[in-house]
Each structure stands twice: as structure tokens, then as C-alpha cells.
Amino acid sequence: MSVLDSIIEGVREDLANRRKPLSEIHDQMSQAPRALDAHAALFGEQMKVIAEVKRSSPSKGELSKIADPAALAEQYQSAGASVISVLTEERRFKGSLDDLAAVRSRVTIPILRKDFMIDEYQFFEARAYGADLILLIVAALSKSQLKDFYDVATELGMAALIEVHTADELERALEISPQIVGVNSRNLKTLEVDPAAFADLIPRIPSTLIRVAESGISSRADVEFAQSAGANAILVGEALVTSGEPTLAMRRLLGQG
């Protein structure tokens, strides 16, 4: 079993334990704030940052305790983040939907629910807790699931970040005519990081799309490398939460001192 398979198995078990009747989640959705336009937030000539609230990871273990995820998200917003990513996977990343709700209550920019989306129920859940953007990992989904889930997210007013790691996954991603495509330099099946994925895959993504570089970004040089490949946004978590000064760390990544 790969690391990705193991994570998904846990996600299924946790979802089964917290699943509510659809009527309840629909009631909660009706009270959620209207979804913000994540595509517009990430569009433009300047490098955009998706800053992540991330306590732990399968590859590194605990990164930061983050007692107040909303306060961290506010720091990210003040430092110039365009989108806040909130991990909601419980076992490997120590996140929760409560984190998502807390962040939504304190920031005014779009929020990405970062999780392993494998069941339609999770999309209603994401919207009910205030997500504006969701993640679809091509490696974790069949061709039909990818299309169906993308359509569900769109119908609920959310944008979708389509994540790929290989040329084959990128080909599958482009078949659904996405607006935002992310290249993850980390192979989720082995957890190995290879930044060469940026140089290989990002140039193959049409320049009309938002092109996001994910994982393995910890220095200004990493950002410049991703940008030279054609990325117009970066998703960064570990480098920010382990820095001790996330505002300063983000500014350094953006070359602002």
C-alpha cells in the first residue's frame, strides 16, 4: 500500500464517523457566507501565495502546534497572501473542519480546504464550513471521479485546484478544462520531492490557466525557479509554519526583504 492509499483509507474511516444526514449539512450550507472568487484572487502578473495552516505532515511529522489557526491566517493575509490553505485531514496532518471554520471567521480572502476529496459529501461539507476552493488530487481519483467532483464543486460555487505530479496526470487534468492547475513536486505515493517536476510540467500547462507550484518551496531561489518555469502562484506551508516569523518568511519568499 502506498502512502497515498494509506491516507485515503484513513480519510474514509474518519468521514464515516462524522457523516451527518445531508439535510443537516444542507442547512449548514445555507448559513455559510457566499463563496469568494479564488480564481480572481490568484490571477495577475505578480506572484501569488497560497499560505497554508499546516500542523503536521506524513513526511516530517509535527511541524507546529498552531493553537490558533485563525490568528496565523490573519498574519498570512496581512503579509499579502492571496488564498489561505487549511489542512482538514485529521490523522497525518492534524487538521480539522473546525480549523476551517475558525479561519473563515477571521479572514476576508478565499480559503482552500486542503484534504483528500474522495466522496461527494466532502464537497457539501467544505462549502458548509466556508471553503471557496477545494483540492482535487488526480492521483487519488478515477477519470470519472475527477470530472464529477469538479462539476460538483463548480455547482456549489467553489473553484478547484487540480493537482498533478506526472505528465499522464496533467493530461487527465486538462481534459476537464480546469482553471487552476497545481504541480506538486512531492510524489504522494512515496513522499519523495523532485523540484524538476516544476520545470517539466508547468510549461505544459496553458498560460491562460492559473499555474501553481506546490511543495518543496522554502527559499527565494525556489520561488524564482518555479516562476521561471511559468508558475504564477505558489502553495507554501512548512516553510512558513516552521519559520517562527511567518510574515517575514513570506516576504522573504516574495523578495520583499
Give the distance, in angstroms, between the CA of residue 244 and the centroid of all CA atoms in the same chain.
Answer: 22
* 187 carries an active-site annotation: no
> In which element (H, E) is residue 143 found?
helix 143-155
* 163 carries an active-site annotation: yes
* 54 carries an active-site annotation: yes
Which residue of the set 56, 57, 64, 184 is catalytic? 184
Which residue of the set 89, 90, 125, 163 is catalytic? 163
Angle at 107 between CA 25 and CA 217, to 5 degrees: 100
Which residue of the set 48, 85, 90, 114 is catalytic? 114
Which residue of the set 89, 90, 125, 214 is catalytic? 214
Which residue of the set 57, 96, 187, 215 is catalytic? 215
* 17 carries an active-site annotation: no
* 232 carries an active-site annotation: no
In this structure, the chain runs to a length of: 257
* 142 carries an active-site annotation: no
Amino acid at 66: I
Contacts 24+ apart (CB under 8 A), 97-100: 97/125, 97/129, 99/53, 99/69, 100/126, 100/129, 100/130, 100/131
Which residue of the set 48, 52, 232, 238 is catalytic? 52
Please list the active-site residues: 52, 54, 114, 163, 184, 214-215
